[in-house]
Chains A and B, each alone.
Chain A
Amino acid sequence: MSEVWAKKTISELAPLLQKREISPVEVTMSVFDRVQKLNDSINAYISINNEEKVLEKAKKAEKEIVVGNYRGPLHGIPLALKDILYFIGETVTMGSKIHENFTPDFDATVVAKLKEAGSLFTGKLNMHEYAYGGTTNNPHFGPCRNPWNIGRIPGGSSGGSGAAVAADMTIASLGTDTAGSIRIPASICGIVGLKPTHGLVSKYGCFPLSWSLDHIGPMTKTVQDAAILLQAITGYDEKDATSVASSPANYVMSLTGDIKGKVIGIEEDFFFNMIDHEVDSLVKKGIRKLEDLGARIELVKIPSLKFAEFAEYMTFMSESALIHQNNFNQRPEDFGEDVRQSLRMANNPTAIDYLQAQQIRRRLAKEFTMMFEQVDVLIAPTLPVIASVIGEESVFINGQECSQTETLIRLTSPANLVGIPSISIPAGFSKGLPVGMQIMGPAFSEELIMNFAFAFEQTNPLKGLKPVIGELVQ
């Protein structure tokens, strides 16, 4: 079976499926062929669904389309989601040993929405155990590998999603993001990853890491695909206590590429501090391209970013300690070593630490709001570095050794703290590995930030290059 369909995007496949020029069966078989060929090298899938059963559903989707019952751009499209989103009657592991046989009796809201939209599912994607890390070096299911260099991490915690999308092992995916876990793998794997506004997408049926910081969002090959997926999964959900009723939006129609007259904010003290020289250079080059397209730049200050790291740690440590309390007390040996260590640390914040963190968040939110009165978007590197070698715990930034975990979440976590949307898009390559740029906007400005991302995407920052799977570059 030709792999050509697996390499397409949702927006390329949808009109062909609607006009019946290709069948969901062909597309699904193409994806499965790619998965069978590459999963031993990449380990993006924790579990691969039974191909025969998925093809039966593909045939059913085809029949629906043939009789004129076309549901929309996701009808007949094979997807694979991070193994943290509940599917009724199917095993969902959260990348853990403790939940290795967990079978939920309901669908996550986002899963139900995608099923209603006619999507098919080829399997469940690898992740950092309980989303509690940024490398997807999973001790129970094996490390996921970066398709651009299989000796390197794909990022995390949604590393399987990042790798699978980059390697065309799925047409698109959903990930989750608590301190950057959609945007980190998106940056490292050279794909698009969107963390929406907190509350825009229901988290019902998603295993939590930290309630007030968790988000679900699309991970895709293109900005247009991210818009299509976002359109399908947003909406108020009374089953999610943090769900927000938002005004209807048409994310796909908003992608005009016109950013003339818009103002880009650049905050240098935090977002451009301690950044690898090549990453810094690439992102600034990207911003200049947006200037060439008609936007203008303004420097801004957000003083409370100085305390963002403390606020992020105190919040997710406290919330995750409660979430995992029973299992950590009863069976700590069943966690992977790194998560077990993290949970030991997570029991330390006091109530005062947690409350100080919330005070910082309020102050940050106020500063971001005031900043967005001056500028339309804030642009920064997604990460200070490129992908590190699997198994390393520290990274080097311009010769200085730094903790990998802190480095990975440093620039992404502010958007989680204040709940604003942030999209990571490829900005180019450094030493053969992708570099990402993030575009942040005010709450519920997904149309705006995606339009900026779309405008930049048209400049072809990756020059059409795709990973050559199996290369191990030292």
Chain B
Amino acid sequence: MKNTVSNLLISMGVDVNEEEAILLESRWEEIQLLKKDLDQIMPNPSDIALRNVVVFEAK
């Protein structure tokens, strides 16, 4: 199910009028286009390099 920008904001309780909704949808589509062909340069899952190291502070 496609979660449109407007649906998401409405579900959060944020008011969006029709004009704003059109602008937001259009802008979001432009941003999503920026990752076009991403799967062609990163076909395998790449590590995001977040280290799970807990540092304990000395008391």
Interface residues of A (CB under 8 A from B): 303-304, 306-307, 309-310, 313, 328-329, 332, 341, 344-345, 347-348, 353, 355-356, 358-363
If A329-B13, A344-B16 are given as contacts, then 13 extra A-B residue pairs at C-beta distance below 8 Å, sorted by A number, are: A310-B31, A310-B35, A313-B34, A328-B14, A347-B12, A348-B28, A355-B48, A358-B49, A359-B42, A359-B46, A361-B48, A362-B48, A363-B42
B53: CB under 8 A from chain A?
no
Q: Report the separation of the CA atoms of residues A329 and B12 in the bound assembly, to the nearest whole angstrom.
A: 8
Q: Report the separation of the CA atoms of residues A353 and B50 in the bound assembly, to the nearest whole angstrom.
A: 16
Which residues does chain B contribute within 8 Å of A310, judged by CB atoms? 31, 34-35, 38
Q: 5 smallest A-B Cβ distances: which pairs?
A: A310-B34, A358-B48, A359-B46, A310-B35, A309-B34
B8: CB under 8 A from chain A?
yes
Which residues does chain A contribute within 8 Å of B31, judged by CB atoms? 310, 313, 345
B18: CB under 8 A from chain A?
no
- Nearest CB of A to B26, in Å: 11
Are A344 and B47 interface neighbours, CB within 8 A?
Answer: no
| Interface of B, helix, strand, loop or mixed by DSSP | loop
In the complex formed, the residue of A with least CB distance to B5 is A348
Q: Which of B16-34 contact A (CB under 8 A)?
A: 16, 20, 23-24, 27-28, 31, 34
- Nearest CB of B to A356, in Å: 6
Which residues does chain A contribute within 8 Å of B37, judged by CB atoms? 306
In the complex formed, the residue of B with least CB distance to A365 is B49
B41: CB under 8 A from chain A?
yes
Are B12 and A307 interface neighbours, CB within 8 A?
Answer: no
- Nearest CB of A to B50, in Å: 8
Q: Which of B27, B28, B35 contacts A356 (CB 8 A)?
A: B35
Q: Which of B13, B27, B34, B45 contacts A307 (CB 8 A)?
A: B34
Taking each of A307, A309, A348, A362, which has the highest tally of chain B beta carbons within 10 Å of its own beta carbon? A348
Which residues does chain B contribute within 8 Å of A356, judged by CB atoms? 35, 38
**A304-B41, A310-B35 are known contacts. Are A348 and B12 too (CB-CB below 8 A)?**
no
- Nearest CB of B to A345, in Å: 6
Interface residues of B (CB under 8 A from A): 5, 8-9, 12-14, 16, 20, 23-24, 27-28, 31, 34-35, 37-38, 41-42, 45-50
Are A363 and B46 interface neighbours, CB within 8 A?
Answer: yes
Which residues does chain B contribute within 8 Å of A341, judged by CB atoms? 20, 23-24
- Nearest CB of A to B32, in Å: 8
Are B14 and A307 interface neighbours, CB within 8 A?
Answer: no
Q: Which of A303, A344, A355, A360 contacts B24 (CB 8 A)?
A: A344
Which residues does chain B contribute within 8 Å of A345, judged by CB atoms? 5, 24, 27-28, 31
- Nearest CB of A to B12, in Å: 7
Are B38 and A307 interface neighbours, CB within 8 A?
Answer: yes
Q: Report the separation of the CA atoms of residues A301 and B13 in the bound assembly, to the nearest whole angstrom.
A: 46
Which residues does chain A contribute within 8 Å of B14, judged by CB atoms? 328-329, 332, 344, 347
- Nearest CB of B to A275, in Å: 19
Q: Report the separation of the CA atoms of residues A360 and B9 in the bound assembly, to the nearest whole angstrom.
A: 27
Q: Report the separation of the CA atoms of residues A303 and B37 in the bound assembly, to the nearest whole angstrom.
A: 12
In the complex formed, the residue of A with least CB distance to B38 is A307
Which residues does chain A contribute within 8 Å of B5, judged by CB atoms? 344-345, 348
Are B20 and A344 interface neighbours, CB within 8 A?
Answer: yes
Which residues does chain A contribute within 8 Å of B41, judged by CB atoms? 303-304, 307, 363
- Nearest CB of B to A103, in Å: 28
Q: Report the separation of the CA atoms of residues A191 and B16 in the bound assembly, to the nearest whole angstrom.
A: 41
Which residues does chain A contribute within 8 Å of B46, judged by CB atoms? 359, 362-363
Which residues does chain B contribute within 8 Å of A307, judged by CB atoms? 34-35, 38, 41
Q: Report the separation of the CA atoms of residues A363 and B43 in the bound assembly, to the nearest whole angstrom.
A: 13
Are A347 and B9 interface neighbours, CB within 8 A?
Answer: yes
Q: Report the separation of the CA atoms of residues A345 and B31 in the bound assembly, to the nearest whole angstrom.
A: 10
Q: Report the separation of the CA atoms of residues A361 and B5 in the bound assembly, to the nearest whole angstrom.
A: 25
Q: Report the separation of the CA atoms of residues A307 and B37 in the bound assembly, to the nearest whole angstrom.
A: 9
- Nearest CB of B to A334, in Å: 14
- Nearest CB of B to A326, in Å: 12
In the complex formed, the residue of A with least CB distance to B6 is A344
**A303-B41, A307-B38, A359-B42 are known contacts. Are A348 and B8 too (CB-CB below 8 A)?**
yes
Which residues does chain A contribute within 8 Å of B13, judged by CB atoms? 329
Taking each of A328, A329, A332, A347, which has the highest tally of chain B beta carbons within 10 Å of its own beta carbon? A347
Q: Report the separation of the CA atoms of residues A292 and B44 in the bound assembly, to the nearest whole angstrom.
A: 45
Are B8 and A362 interface neighbours, CB within 8 A?
Answer: no
Taking each of B20, B23, B28, B34, which has the highest tally of chain A beta carbons within 10 Å of its own beta carbon? B34
Residue pairs across A and B with Cβ atoms less than 8 A apart, 15 shown, are A309-B34, A310-B34, A310-B35, A341-B20, A344-B16, A345-B31, A347-B9, A347-B14, A353-B35, A356-B35, A359-B42, A359-B47, A359-B48, A362-B46, A363-B41
